[in-house]
Structure 1
Amino acid sequence: MSKKSAYYMANQESDKQVDVDVRMPPIGEALGEAALVSPAGEGSSAPGEHALLKRLRIARDGSPRAQAIAGGLLPLHALRLLLANLKLVPLLIIPVLINMALFAVSIYFLVQYAGQGVEWLWAKPAAGGALEQVVLVLWYVVYVLAILVSVALSYVIVLMLGGILASPFHDILSEATEKILLGTEEVQGTGLSFLVETLRSLGSNIVIVLIYFSLLIPVLMLNLIPGLGTIAASALGMMLSAYFVGLEYCDPLLTRRNTPVKRKFGLIREHIWFAGAFGLGTNFLLLVPFLNFLCMPIAVMGGTAMGIVLLEGEEGAEPPQ
């Protein structure tokens, strides 16, 4: 081959290469790439994220009513998430066994002592005239209400104590749930060893439970006032429990993101309609037969989703890695 022919063929190859390099991509591909790199709009989901996070972001920025509805229904969404990801089931075994054991102890003490406790606080009035009959009817109403509230509060105590006993397993389940929700294989961690992380999480749970009981005891003392005291204690006890259950089950995610204890309480307080309704919805789930045994793992999964969205809502918060 002559030098002239070789030079001509080299120029042809160069022209082809230039033609390939400057060719524009199809419109659909260009728009798709732009969508991937453009900033996410309000309430939007990043590629690979679970749709549940988008719904929770919209609710977080919505009205108190929207927040309360979304928070109250979050345990059911967490149950659906579990059923769609059965690979998580092995992570539930030990928390469920702990839950069942605590329930058995709770039911035993309720059956043995709940009625006696109510009668000790307010002795059953004797039947007599019209006024005594009215008081007796009121006593029965208060008695039934006190038993129901005792059942609900005992279940809440099971949740809180279970959070301590099952803390290492909740951390593992929470991290696996976060990976599913964010659609990633790696999530932001503390950078600490497993043992240190476990002790740190356990310490955080103990602090939360101690604060809960320190506030619950004065509320329960209201039961010493017959009638109205029991009603007030019931209402305040349920509100307090809703707050702390919401905090307790957001805690694995918040601790993993190095959120200070004071800030954890602040986050729940600032989003009380949202997180409080989640805690209340979790409490009601305890009353559903069979589902109550899954309540702790479901609460961990729901709390993980809640924690992600609450931290994102902070001004200047960085998106999770």
Structure 2
Amino acid sequence: MNSNNVVNQPLSGINYLIKGAKLLRHPKLRTFVLVPLIINILIFASAFWFLFSSITDWIESYMQMLPELLSWLSYILWPIIVFSILFVFSFLFSTVANLIAAPFNGLLAEKTEILLTKQTVNDDGWQDLFKDLPRILKRECQKWLYFLPRILGCLILFWVPVIGQTIAPIVWFIFAGWMMAIQYADYPFDNHKVSFAMMRKTLGKKMTKNITFGMIVSFCTTIPVLNFIIMPIAVCGATAAWVDLYKEQALSESVTVSPQR
């Protein structure tokens, strides 16, 4: 049984992000936050400079594709499309940042779990950080094989006249939340060698909580300055959720199915 009494108090999606922000300030985690933070700052600073120099032209081009009959919808669709572009753009660059920072995020998740549970996970430290790179990269590829067909489906929906163009931003916003939930929950799950398929199944049992968590992360990636620090906050928050909600069940199920692999 965990010594940390917070484990017995499951939180909402937004509260796990708040908890992640609080954990980020802990002296024992500061060292492990530094590298992901620097990577995020460099990538997002470059990304947003490019985005804000082009976004108006992209929106006007999309609006011109609307049938004249639906021109009155432009006032409604404009803010939705702005957020959709921001979310798509932020997700793409968050994915790049997460890919580069994956080994460091995994280490941050490990140290966060140790802090919360007072139990050893792997605790290899910096010296053995890169030994798991092949497995980490394989895991990132698994995520992309899952994400890509669904991302393409959402993008196609943007080009379907009338109905598709109207609902596509909403569909993308929801799915982006699910992708972000998977992205950050994957670090603590992967630290315990829980399979990607089992992780998705486990997260799906609390779909609303996870999509809420991911949607807030997605929204935060669109806000300058906040997008610099949201990555380590989300890693800590997702790890707290792993400890509170998933660890015991996921590890017991993993042991049950492992002989069948």
What TM bracket, shorter-length normalisation? Answer: 0.7 to 0.9
Which residue is equivalent to 2:258?
none
Q: Root-mean-square deviation (CA), in Å?
A: 2.8
Residue 105 of structure 1 pairs with residue 46 of structure 2: yes
1:177-256 mapped onto 2 (5 Å cutoff): 177-184=112-119, 186-188=120-122, 194-256=129-191
Higher helix share: 2
Q: 1:87 aligns with which of 28, 40, 47?
A: 28
Greater RCO structure (CA 8 Å; 6+ sep): 2
- Counting matched residue pairs gives 251
Residue identity (%)? 20
- Residue 287 of structure 1 deviates from its aligned partner by 4.2
Which residue is equivalent to 1:3?
none
Contact 1:312 1:318 in 2 (8 A): no
Which residue is equivalent to 1:277?
212
Which residue is equivalent to 1:66?
none
Cα distance in 2 for residues equivalent to 1:82 and 1:189: 18
Which TM-score applies when normalising by structure 2?
0.84
Cα distance in 1 for residues equivalent to 2:37 and 2:94: 11
Which residue is equivalent to 1:260?
195
- Residue 248 of structure 1 deviates from its aligned partner by 0.9
CA deviation vs aligned residue, 1:260-297 (integer Å, no higher than 9, x gap): 12112211222212222221222233345433211000
Which residue is equivalent to 2:7?
53
Q: Which amino acid aligns with 1:79?
A: A
Q: Which amino acid aligns with 2:62?
A: L
Residue 76 of structure 1 pairs with residue 18 of structure 2: yes
Find the residue that maps to 2:193 and give its secondary structure.
coil
Cα distance in 2 for residues equivalent to 1:125 and 1:285: 29
Which residue is equivalent to 1:116?
57
Which TM-score applies when normalising by structure 1?
0.69
Contact 2:44 2:227 in 1 (8 A): no
Q: Which amino acid aligns with 1:52?
A: V
Which residue is equivalent to 1:143?
78
- Residue 201 of structure 1 deviates from its aligned partner by 1.6
- Residue 197 of structure 1 deviates from its aligned partner by 1.7
Q: Where do 5+ consecutive residues of structure 1 fail to align?
A: 1-39, 41-45, 60-69, 127-131
Q: Which moved more, 1:112-121 or 1:88-97?
A: 112-121
Q: Which moved more, 1:161-170 or 1:270-279?
A: 270-279
Change in Cα spacing, 1:95 to 1:114, as seen in structure 2 (3 Å) is same
- Residue 116 of structure 1 deviates from its aligned partner by 2.7
Cα distance in 2 for residues equivalent to 1:235 and 1:125: 17
Q: Looking at CA atoms only, which structure, 1 or 2, has the larger radius of gyration?
A: 1
Moved over 6 A (4+): none
